[in-house]
Amino acid sequence: MGLFDLWRPRPAPTPTVVERTVVREVAPPPSPARPSAVPDGLRDAAGWAWRLLLLAGFVIGLFRALAYFSAVAVPIAVAFLLAALLTPAVSQLRRWGVGPILSAAIALVGMVLLLAALLTAVGVQAASEAPELVNQTTTGLQRVMDWLASGPLHISADQVNAYIAQGRTWLQSQGSQLATWAGSVGSSVGNFLAGLVTALMASFFFAATGSSMWASTAKWLLPEHAREPITRAARKGWNSLVQYMRATVIVCLVDATGIALVAFFLGVPMPFALFALTFIASFIPIVGAVLAGVVAAVLALVTNGPGAALIMVAGVVVVNQVEGNILQPFLLGRAVSLHPLATLLGLTAGATISGVLGALLSIPVMAFLAAFVKAMRYPEQVPDEREPRERRPSRRRPGGSSRAAGSDAPGPAGPIEAPRTLEA
């Protein structure tokens, strides 16, 4: 190689190509699935069956537990219903600027005074008509005795006296048992008064500080990501319960008006007392209106005779049929967004499981759960409903907008600013 060969360009080195072999493991083809001996339809039906049985067992167990702990459960349940009944009045008072504690106190005291005035009016009417009622009762009993003797039964006065003597003898022989019943009744009256005081106090706190109580409970029991949707659904269920109580008041008014009108046209004494008794008793589903009708029929029997009593019974039956087949399924079902058939089945199931307690709580529980589940499944259909705030004097803000102090509603000068456009 000469001297000039040092300045000649040298060819680039040829790269060495290294071949690598990648071995991939190929999974064997899956074996064909063996056909199941259980058809798909039967498997799906079995899955639905055990889930429905589990849900039914939970509902029955809940009602059984409420019935077992009735000394605590009944006052608390009545307190929830009373708080729902007082909610419209409390909300209106808070819109007028009254504080929550004072609003709940005014609504609760007003309800108690209204019931006291109603019972006082009944007592005054009964006291004023007592002499005439005694005379009508004596005349009515004599008319009943004549009807028994000359009617289809042909029961003479001697036979009636013999029956009365047998009844008096039976009462004398059952003296110890009657004393035991009287003691149990006295204990029940004491428990009723204690439960009534508990229900009134609990309803006051629910109506006054229910939102803060729920917020504290949700903070301790619910995870943070679930608080807002569950709170929104619970508020929707509570609003449904409030609508149920409004519809219940309308049903009770219709029952009381119907029975009082029948008594008035038949000339039965104290129709206003029957109105008050039926209105209060009708808050107990099924049983209340029937008991009030029995009292009205007995009063018609002893004052106006068997004919008026039969007409009174027919009127009570008509009123109860209208309540059970028209008012409760359609009015209550529409108020709580339940199908009429579901309302009837709920009343029957609640009365079968826990008697009067089950009938009293079945529809409110169904109303709350239906609204709660719907709000959880379709949160976009639930408006953002807030608790009413008391009105405060508005103040002028620097932007020319005025809104109530302490309100967190977004506005032109609110905490939410308009988005800014990013320019290049």
Using CB atoms within 10 Å of the CB of residue 222, give its burial: 0 to 12 exposed, 13 to 18 middle, 19+ buried. Answer: middle
Residue 110's pLDDT is: 92
User: Which residues contact residue 28 at a Cβ distance below 8 angstroms, ignoring those fewer than 6 apart?
Assistant: none
- Tokens representing 160 are 């009636």
- CA 54 – CA 45 distance, rounded (Å): 14
Residue 54's pLDDT is: 93
Q: Which residue has the tokens 């080195």?
A: 13
Instruction: Please give the distance of CA 100 from its chain centroid, rounded to a whole number.
Output: 23
Residue 209's pLDDT is: 87
What string of pLDDT tens digits covers the 424 residues of the chain? 554 454 455 666 666 655 666 556 666 666 655 666 777 788 888 889 999 999 888 878 877 787 788 788 888 888 998 999 899 899 999 999 888 899 999 999 999 998 888 888 888 877 777 777 777 677 766 776 776 667 666 666 677 677 777 777 776 676 667 667 766 666 677 777 888 888 899 999 998 888 888 888 888 888 888 888 888 888 888 888 888 888 888 888 888 888 889 888 888 888 888 888 888 888 776 667 778 888 888 888 877 777 888 888 898 888 888 877 777 777 766 666 677 677 778 777 777 777 777 777 787 888 888 888 888 887 766 555 554 444 444 444 444 444 444 334 334 333 333 334 333 3
- Other beta carbons within 10 angstroms of residue 108's beta carbon come to 21
Query: Do β-strands 394-396 and 402-404 pair in parallel, antiparallel, or remain unpaired?
Result: antiparallel
- E-state strands within 46-146: none
Give 394's strand partners.
404
pTM for this predicted structure: 0.65
DSSP state of 403: E
Q: What's 329-346 look like in SS3?
A: HHHHHHHCCCCHHHHHHH
